[in-house]
Amino acid sequence: MRDLIKYLITEEWRTHTTLFGSFLFVLFPIIVILMVLAMAVFIPIINLMMAESTAMLILHLIIAFLGLQVGAFGIYGQEFMQRRFGHASLLSYSARILPLSDRKIFLAVVIKDILYYFCMLLMPIIIGLSLITILIPDVHIYLRAFVPSCILAFLMGIAVVFFLSIVFAHSRILLLVAAAGIGFLFAMIGDFPPFMFYMERSLTNLLLATIPSFILIAMSIWFFKVDERHEQHRFKNQLKGRKDLLFTKDMIDLHRSRGGIGRIIFSLLLPMAFIWFFLKHFVEYLSIVNFLFLFSVFLGVYSSSIYNWICRYDTYGQYSYLPIRIFSVILTKVRISLALGTIPIIIFIAAAINEQSSPLVVLLSATSAAALYVYGLAITVLLTGLAPHILFFNGKVLVKYLILIIPPPVILIVLSVFAPQYLFLATILFVLSWYIVRWGAQHWENSEQQLF
């Protein structure tokens, strides 16, 4: 097992360093440290807004959210590997050619993700917070307690999503039951267990913070499902009579990719439920910002990740020998992303109904969410072309993305505090995004494409 984990980590490292080069990939954790240090500017404001314990709870929830993102790879792993790296022999799919069971490999992958992303994400965060405590004496973070609780929060996020992704592979109905059961369990506990352990290092809190994660991981391994079917799948020619072949082809891709659209919905619902819970705690200390508007800002920015999903299942190499312009391919994927924008629209409608806000607030929030959605989509196209899920691991690309994506939502939040009517200025982003998309598509049309 130890050798298998070592080889999986080596494989992960070589994959990323081959794509970006060692320097640019190693730059990623350095950027995380700098981002944490940059947050030190807001510490005096946070201290005025909320108690230290509340700030630490929010920090633990953010770390759990990172765990959710890492664990989410399990949702699309099999299809993604088959469609994107079918030419490569990956250890994750070696059970049929090596004397290794699927469950053993899955357990090794879970351990590998925990160790690998602990070094890439958690360790930089801990280093950044340690530097903050040294530079700002007023900040009181008990690192001796925070480090283990931080690891437990990250582990819990990974465990929850791995378990839900395994349930998702068995049944959509069971997924809803499992999600409700996990929610009920946390409601019964009454607080976030890793945070409870940070506040009071007792054996009871330690067990509450560890046992649920280990149970979920054990159940994920036990119920791990591998598709052993080898029958041929036959489909009707759905391209016949269609004029927009590229658009139809990508929609068929999603439909035939074993729940492609369902995965997109799941990948949005779970993080947005977490953000909802996070903002509910945060807005209590920032009453000057409307909750629905703040939620719509996060919804708009995060939903632009739909484009990442659209680009997961094919590569430039599949188009390189066809008389098709990359410009047209990118614009088609943008159109599909806009069509799938109905998913965040439904989420927003549910949030608006729950909040019972005034029509003006709903209109302003919806406008802001839509504007930030298309703007985020445009910036993603400009910086990553047809490989957003790969190039975002490039530290240089990530820095450019953050520099371009952060100002608009910050400006809109400030405008909502002083003059909500000015939020209609968000419509400017629609026009700006159109030009950025065309500029970005033309840029990638004229650039030499990497065959990832």
Distance CA 444, CA 435 (A): 14
Residue linked to tokens 């950027």: 31
- pLDDT of the chain along its 452 residues, tens only? 777 778 777 877 776 666 555 666 677 788 888 888 877 766 766 666 667 777 788 788 888 888 877 766 544 544 444 444 444 556 666 656 667 677 777 778 778 878 888 888 888 888 888 887 777 766 666 667 788 888 898 888 888 888 887 777 677 677 778 877 877 777 777 678 888 888 888 888 888 888 888 888 888 888 776 554 444 555 566 556 566 677 777 777 776 665 556 667 767 777 787 778 777 766 666 667 788 888 898 899 988 888 887 877 666 666 666 777 888 888 888 888 888 888 888 888 888 888 877 888 888 889 999 999 999 999 999 998 887 877 776 778 888 888 999 899 988 888 887 777 788 888 999 999 999 999 998 888 887 655 54
